[in-house]
Amino acid sequence: MVTRRNFIINTSLAATAVLAMPSLAFTMNKKQIGLQLYTLRDEISKDVNVVLEKVAAAGYTIVETYGFSIKDQFWGLTPIELKKVLDANHLKAISGHYNLGSFLADGNTAELMAAIEAAKTLKNEFLTIPWVDETFRKNTEDYKKIASRLNEAGKLCKNAGLKLAYHNHDFEFQKHDGITGYEILLKETDKNLVSFELDLYWVIRSGNDPLKLFRENQGRFKMWHVKDMDKINPSLNTEVGSGSIDFKTIFKEAQLSGMKHFFVEQENNFAVNSFASIKASSDFISKELL
């Protein structure tokens, strides 16, 4: 007989079990599979329409753009034109990688403001900074300046209804006066203005542990780049699930990370061709990780 007391005890135990198993809580609210379009950079510059049709057919529902500039827009398309192509293929551009000209170095906001307008047109949630030129990141003072600029850009994005994110490579994990550039960026940026898109490949390639980053900076990593590391040559990427990165363990800690969206990215070493490779990654993620 199930008494009220037993029901309450059993319900409490079940709730405790869910809290103790982030992977279970995560799978109860499946994330959409995203693709960073830089993966298809050789193809997309030739025919955006065909590429986005194939992206949708490969199982992706969200994308992350790249390469916008005032001069060239998106591969020759205006943000309005690109939005129409995305809509036609039922794709949402949740994030975009936007190069901001010289903003991080000198504060010139021309490209930043153009990027904000483009991001608003595409209905981006995040405006993401993908890269910092080497000349601007040589020491701790440079990284503190970058952090200050990120806070400034974060305010402008927030005022426009957007969120700012920063995407890493491996250079941020180099030490300067005993501290890494990434530590400076995490410490010196306002968590209410600046989020981080954690490139899991580059974290591991640099010799660091993403789970340790999750524990020490809970909730800061709103997005991930999911790209696998070739088992023979770690400098190469490979299809997700075919390499050496233990994504199952990482995905179990998605809640701790704060991850809301993730994007597959594969820059090289395609198994057959880039479209077959993104399909293989999508299939593995949907079957094994979500």
Residue 195, domain member (yes or no): yes
Residue 243, domain member (yes or no): yes
Residue 17, domain member (yes or no): no
Residue 152 domain boundaries: 22-289
| Residues whose CB is less than 8 angstroms from the CB of residue 271 and which lie 6 or more positions away in sequence, other chains included | 238, 239, 242, 277, 280
Residue 28, domain member (yes or no): yes
pLDDT tens figures, 207-257: 999 999 999 999 999 999 999 999 999 999 999 999 999 999 999 999 999
Residue 151, domain member (yes or no): yes
**What single letter denotes the amino acid at residue 284?**
F
Please give the pLDDT value at position 11: 44
Over residues 47-68, the mean pLDDT reads 97
Q: What is the spatial distance between Cα 1 and Cα 6, in angstroms, rounded to a whole number?
A: 9
- In this model, does residue 5 exceed pLDDT 90? no
- In this model, does residue 198 exceed pLDDT 90? yes
Please give the pLDDT value at position 29: 53
Residue 286 DSSP code: I
Please give the pLDDT value at position 143: 98
Number of domains in the chain: 1
* Whole-number average pLDDT of the chain: 92
pTM of structure: 0.89
Residue 263, domain member (yes or no): yes
**In the chain, % of residues over pLDDT 70:** 90
Residue 240: both structure tokens together: 């997700």
Confidence grade of residue 4 (pLDDT, cut at 50, 70, 90): very low
118, 111, 193: which is closest to 150 by C-alpha?
A: 193
**Any idea what the CATH number is for the domain that residue 161 is in?**
3.20.20.150
Q: What is the spatial distance between Cα 250 and Cα 126, in angstroms, rounded to a whole number?
A: 22
Residue 149: both structure tokens together: 């600029």
Q: What is the spatial distance between Cα 145 and Cα 167, in angstroms, rounded to a whole number?
A: 17
pLDDT tens figures, 84-142: 999 999 999 999 999 999 999 999 999 999 999 999 999 999 999 999 999 999 999 99
Residue 14, domain member (yes or no): no
Q: What is the spatial distance between Cα 96 and Cα 90, in angstroms, rounded to a whole number?
A: 17
DSSP 112-152: HHHHHHHHHHTT-SEEEE----GGG-SSHHHHHHHHHHHHH
**In the chain, % of residues over pLDDT 90:** 89
Please give the pLDDT value at position 19: 44
Residue 5, domain member (yes or no): no
Q: What are phi and psi of 167, to 5 degrees?
A: -105, 135
